[in-house]
Homo-oligomer: A and B are copies of this chain.
Amino acid sequence: MNTTELSAGANTPERILDIAEGLVQRRGYNGFSYADIAREMSIAKASLHYHYAGKAELGEALIERYTVRFGEALEAIDASLEEAGAKLAAYADLYSDVLRGDRMCLCGMLAAEYETLPDPMSDSVRRFFDLNVAWLARVLADGASAGTLSLEASPVEAAQGLLGALQGAMLVARPYRDPQVFQAVAAQALGGIAVAST
Contacts and interface: CB of A to CB of B under 8 A. Distances in A.
A54 B85 CA distance: 50
A191 B152 contact: yes
Q: How many copies does the complex hold?
A: 2
Interface stretch (A10-18, A86-94, A141-149, A166-174): A166-174
A131 interface: no
Interface of A: 26-28, 30-31, 102, 104, 108-109, 111-116, 122, 125-126, 129, 152-153, 157-158, 160-161, 163-169, 171-176, 181, 184-185, 187-189, 191-193
Given A125-B175, A164-B181, 19 more contacts: A27-B113, A27-B115, A28-B28, A28-B112, A108-B171, A111-B172, A112-B113, A112-B171, A114-B175, A115-B174, A153-B187, A160-B184, A161-B187, A163-B172, A164-B168, A165-B188, A165-B189, A166-B168, A167-B168
